[in-house]
C-alpha cells in the first residue's frame, strides 16, 4: 500500500511540474524525454559565427565548403514540442541561439564551417570542441564542461570555463585561458611576440612551447612549484612558487598562474 501511494505521489508531482512524462510499467517508473534534430545550411564563407546553447555540448569543425552546416540535437519535456532556433544573418555575422522555454531541456549543437571564420561558442553544463584548422578569433564560454581545441588558428583564443579542464592541441595566435577546478594543457608552438595568459584554480598547468621561443615569463602558484625543461638562455632558471624573468632575451609576454597545483613549462 505504501509503495502504491508513493508511486501515485511521484506521478502527480511530476505532472504538475511539467517536467517529464512518466510511464508506469509493473513495479517500475520510466522517465521519458522527447528528442529531435534540426538541421539547416547557410551560404556563408567569411566573417563570424556565434552559437549559444545550454545543457548540452557544442562542436565546431572546419570543412572544405563555402557554407555553414548546423545541426541542433534537442531534448524536450513534451511530445508536441517544436524546436525553432533563433537565427540571425546580417553582413559578415551569422548567429544561432536556443529558444529557451519551459519545454526545452537542452541542446547539443554541431557546426561545420569554412576555414578562416571567427567563432564564438557559449553553453552551460556542456563541453565545447573546436576542431579543424585555420580559424580566426575563437571565444569559448561554458560552465561545468571541458574545452578542447584541436584546430589551429592565428587569431585570439579566449576561453573561460568553470569546473572543467582545457586542452589546446595547436594554436598559433595569442591566448587568454581561464578555468576553475580544472587543469590546462596547451601546445603553443613557437612564441616570440604577443600576449599569452593561462590561469587556473585547483588545476595543473602544462604549457608546451618550441625551444627557440623567446618570451618574458611571469608565473605563480600556491601549494605547488614551477618547473621547466627548456634549455635556452634563461635570465634565471624558474624554480619555487613565483618567478619573473626572460627566456632567450624576451619577446612574447607569457603569464601563468594556478593555485593548489604546479606549473610545467615544457619543450614541444
- Would you state the pLDDT for residue 33? 79
Domain ranges of the chain: 2-31
Residue 165's CB is within 10 A of a number of other CB atoms, namely: 19
- Would you state the pLDDT for residue 4? 35
Cβ neighbours of residue 39 under 8 Å, at least 6 residues apart?
A: 69, 70, 71, 72
- Would you state the pLDDT for residue 32? 59
Cβ neighbours of residue 170 under 8 Å, at least 6 residues apart?
A: 149, 150, 151, 152, 187, 189
pLDDT < 50 stretches in the chain: 1-27, 29-30
Tell me the pTM. Answer: 0.86
- Would you state the pLDDT for residue 192? 98
Cβ neighbours of residue 221 under 8 Å, at least 6 residues apart?
A: 241, 242, 257, 258, 259, 261, 262, 263
Which of 113, 199, 120 minimizes the C-alpha distance to 157? 120
Amino acid at each position: 500500500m505504501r509503495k502504491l501511494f508513493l508511486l501515485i505521489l511521484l506521478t502527480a508531482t511530476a505532472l504538475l511540474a511539467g517536467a517529464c512524462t512518466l510511464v508506469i510499467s509493473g513495479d517500475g517508473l520510466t522517465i521519458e524525454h522527447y528528442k529531435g534534430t534540426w538541421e539547416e545550411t547557410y551560404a556563408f564563407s567569411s566573417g563570424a559565427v556565434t552559437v549559444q546553447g545550454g545543457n548540452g555540448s557544442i562542436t565546431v569543425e572546419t570543412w572544405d565548403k563555402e557554407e555553414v552546416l548546423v545541426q541542433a540535437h534537442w531534448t524536450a519535456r513534451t511530445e508536441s514540442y517544436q524546436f525553432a532556433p533563433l537565427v540571425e544573418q546580417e553582413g559578415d555575422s551569422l548567429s544561432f541561439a536556443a529558444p529557451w522555454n519551459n519545454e526545452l531541456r537542452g541542446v547539443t549543437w554541431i557546426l561545420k564551417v569554412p576555414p578562416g571564420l571567427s567563432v564564438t561558442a557559449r553553453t552551460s553544463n556542456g563541453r565545447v570542441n573546436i576542431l579543424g584548422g585555420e580559424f580566426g578569433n575563437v571565444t569559448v564560454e561554458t560552465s561545468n564542461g571541458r574545452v578542447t581545441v584541436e584546430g589551429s588558428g592565428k587569431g585570439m583564443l579566449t576561453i573561460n570555463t568553470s569546473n572543467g579542464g582545457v586542452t589546446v592541441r595547436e594554436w598559433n595566435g595569442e591566448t587568454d585561458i581561464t578555468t576553475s577546478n580544472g587543469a590546462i594543457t596547451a601546445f603553443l608552438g613557437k612564441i616570440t611576440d604577443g600576449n599569452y595568459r593561462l590561469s587556473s584554480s585547483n588545476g595543473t598547468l602544462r604549457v608546451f612551447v618550441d625551444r627557440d621561443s623567446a618570451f618574458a615569463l611571469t608565473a605563480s602558484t600556491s601549494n605547488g612549484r614551477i618547473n621547466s625543461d627548456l634549455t635556452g638562455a634563461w635570465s634565471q632558471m624558474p624554480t619555487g612558487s613565483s618567478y619573473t624573468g626572460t627566456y632567450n632575451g624576451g619577446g612574447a609576454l607569457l603569464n601563468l598562474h594556478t593555485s593548489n597545483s604546479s606549473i610545467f613549462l615544457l619543450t614541444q
